[in-house]
Structure 1
Amino acid sequence: MDKRLEEFQQLLNELSVKGKDAPLELLLRQMDADQARCLRLCAIPHEFDMWILRALAPD
């Protein structure tokens, strides 16, 4: 079997275990690492603006 297909099937299996969080996990995996980190930080307060984001990730 093609290696890419095997990797895709493995990804689907991993995500199916995560249940309702799977779509978010898939999105985060496709994002740049810094952007994904910021999005994860924004989930802490659930609502955010530029000031809160700067407090969460001053760098």
Structure 2
Amino acid sequence: MSPSSRSRKQDRARVAAGQDHEVRYEAKKEGVSKQAVKETVKDVGNSRRKVEDALDRKD
């Protein structure tokens, strides 16, 4: 059984710091290192919006 569309949307709203492909994607998108993404997730949580906002403020 496939996951509902709701769970997929929720997954896209999160950055899983343990998932290398997600960390790589965010790092490339924001122009920062993978370590910076991991530290930001640790500081602000795994909400993609919060992570992106925090990384934008660091510039």
TM class, shorter-length: 0.3 to 0.5
- TM-score, structure 1 normalization: 0.35
Which structure has the higher relative contact order (CA within 8 Å, separation 6+)? 2
Name the structure where helix makes up a greater proportion of residues: 1
